[in-house]
Structure 1
Amino acid sequence: MKKYILALLTLTFVLSCKTKSAVQAPISTTTPISSTTEFFNKIKAKPDFQQVKINSRVSVETGNFIPTLDATIYIENGQKVWMNMVAIILNVGRGIATPEGIRGYEKWNRTYIESDFTYLNNLMNVNFIDFNSLQNLLLGRTFIPVNEKDFVLTKNAQGYNLSSTKNLRIENKDKISEYAVSLDYSADFDLMRVNLNETKTGDNLEITYADYEYFENMKMPKNVKIIIKGAKTSQILMENTKFDSSRMDTPYSVPNNYTKTEIR
Structure 2
Amino acid sequence: MKKWVSLLLVTMVVLSCKTKKNAMPNNSENDSIIVAKSDEGKPTDEGKNISDRLTFYESIYIHPKFDQIKINSKITADNIRVSPLDATIYIESDKKIWSNINFLFFNAARAIITPEGIRAVDKYNKNFIDSDFDYLNNLLNINFIDYKTLEKILLGRTFLKVSDRNSKITKNADGYQLSSITNQKIVTNDQEREYKINMQYSNNYDLIYAKLQDVKSDDAVEIVYDQWESFDNNLRLPQSVKIIIKGSKTSQILLENTKFGFTRMETPYSVPANYKKIEIK
TM over 0.5: yes
Query: Are residues 1:237 and 2:237 paired?
Result: no
**Paired residues of 2:140 and 2:249 also in contact (CA < 8 A):** no
Bigger Rg, structure 1 or 2: 2
Unaligned ranges ≥5, structure 2: 14-36
Q: Is the 8 A contact 2:200 2:207 kept in 1?
A: yes
Residue 65 of structure 1 and its aligned partner are, at CA, apart by 1.9
Query: What is the aligned partner in structure 2 of residue 74 from structure 1?
Result: 90
Deviation sequence 1:44-93 (CA, Å, 0-9, x none): 1144111111000011112x524321001110111110000100110011
Whether 1:199 aligns to 2:198 is no
Q: Give the letter aligned to residue 9 of structure 2.
A: T
Counterpart amino acid of 2:254? L
Partner of 2:151: 135
Aligned letter for 2:73? S
Correspondence for 2:19: none
CA distance in 2, matches of 1:170, 1:239: 30
| Structure 2 letter corresponding to 1:89 | F
Structure 1 SS opposite 2:162: coil
Partner residue of 1:65 out of 81, 94, 119: 81
Q: What CA distance in whole angstroms lies between the structure 1 residues aligned with 2:85 and 2:250?
A: 20
Pairing partner for 1:39 from 56, 73, 76:
56
Rate the CA distance shift 1:255–1:194 in 2: closer, same or farther, 3 A. Answer: same
In structure 2, the residue corresponding to 1:94 is in which secondary structure? strand
Give me the TM-score of the superposition, normalised by structure 2. Answer: 0.84
Runs of 4+ in 1 over 4 A off after TM superposition: 27-30
SS of equivalent residue, structure 2 residue 2: helix
Over the matched positions of the two proteins, sequence identity in percent amounts to 47
Cross-structure match for 1:17: none
CA shift, 1:232, in A, is 3.6
Using the size of structure 1 for normalisation, the TM-score is 0.89
Partner of 2:120: 104
Residue 94 of structure 1: aligned partner: 110
Query: Is the partner of 1:142 in helix, strand or coil?
Result: coil
Aligned equivalents of 1:28, 1:182: Cα separation in 2 = 16
Q: Deviations over 1:204-254 (max 9, x none)?
A: 110000000012231000000001012242100000000001110001111
Count of matched residue positions in the alignment of Structure 1 and Structure 2? 250
Residue of 54, 63, 77 corresponding to 2:71? 54
Report the aligned-residue RMSD.
1.9
Deviation at 1:11, TM superposition (A): 4.5
Gaps of 5+ in 1: 15-26
Aligned residue number for residue 247 of structure 1:
264
